[in-house]
A and B are shown apart, each in its own frame.
Chain A
Amino acid sequence: MNWKVLTAGAVVTVPLVALLAAGFDRDPKLRSNALEGRQAPIFSLSTLNGEPFSLEEANGKPVVVNFWSTWCQPCKIEHPVLLRAAETYGPMGVHFVAVLYQDDASKARAYLNRSGSHWPTLEDPGGRTAIAYGVAGVPETFFIDASGTIVRKVSGPVSQEIMVTTLEQML
């Protein structure tokens, strides 16, 4: 075996393979969690009933902000988890807020009348709040602790396990 040729080949190829391998653990399609660990953007929106709501109202309490729409099937899968969580953790001081993402208020009202909700659903004209939170699809859920810091962002439907674990950590 020609060790010199083998070594020269290894010197050239090993760093190249290592460079490529370094990218294997990064999914380019993965949504950014850049806001985790940072202050949640404060927003003031109106509910589907036209009442004002500001994130500041929840000052000092943990908040779960859920971006959703009626055309999103995973949101419908997630809905029962949110309902149970709001029933359990709402009385313990956790605020639940839903922000409608690129959807009509009338469709949302109809859906919520059928499926129920224990939280205010907010309209987001122009999607400014969704953009401020870096929402790139629904559902996306932000867990904000009592100090107003985003402790976790979940892209896709939140499972009961993640919901319970995260809320227990926040309380």
Chain B
Amino acid sequence: MGTLILLAALLGAQPSWAESSADVVSELASVELPEPPLEDPPDAATAAARTERLQTNLRCPVCQGLSVADSPSDAARAMGTRIEELVNQGYTEDQITYYFVDRYGAWVELEPPDEDHKALFLAPIAVVLFGGILLLLWGRRERTAGTQTGDAQFPTHTPDPVLEPWRARILEELGEVN
């Protein structure tokens, strides 16, 4: 129990440079945003839902495959707080997602938009289908060619002038044995 309390205290502890709440803004610290919010500030429930969705969908910039919500890192915590601030200012989910993609690249989205990657997933399937159709067509052509030429598929025996005497002799001796 003591360990759990200590762990909870450590996880809840904020370093001095971080801010525990989105409401606490240093008077001197500000950074310009590329565009104004498109909506009015949402109510608390909507803001919480949007923040959670965004924190789940955006990747922690210093982690391997962890979302902002899942990562305990300081960078993720700062990003999570920033998301909360922007949501509370009335920025839409698309605006906030674009803000981060604009800075960190498409990589920052845990599930990038389908249209960007459709070709990547569909191309191998298309190639395999194309190859399969080609094989099917070639196989059909081979069969048609075989039907048209009757027994053309069987090799024809052409006597070899050099080997023929030897062959005749083998057959003759085999006949004697039988």
Contacts and interface: CB of A to CB of B under 8 A. Distances in A.
Nearest to A45: B29
Given A35-B103, A102-B75, A131-B103, A19 B17 contact: no
A105 B30 CA distance: 18
Interface stretch (B39-47, B119-127, B148-156): B119-127
A136 B104 contact: yes
Nearest to A19: B123
Interface residues of B, number: 40
Contacts, number: 120
Given A8-B131, A102-B74, A44 B29 contact: yes
A133 interface: yes
A124 B102 contact: no
A41 B32 contact: yes
A44 B78 contact: no
Contact of B82 (A19, A127, A135): A127
A156 interface: no
A34 B55 CA distance: 21
A28 B134 CA distance: 35
Given A45-B29, A46-B26, A126-B81, A105 B17 contact: yes
Contacts of B123: 15, 19
A53 to B, nearest CB: 8
B19 A125 contact: yes
Interface string A120-157: 00011111111111111100000000000000000000
B31 A34 contact: no
A52 interface: yes
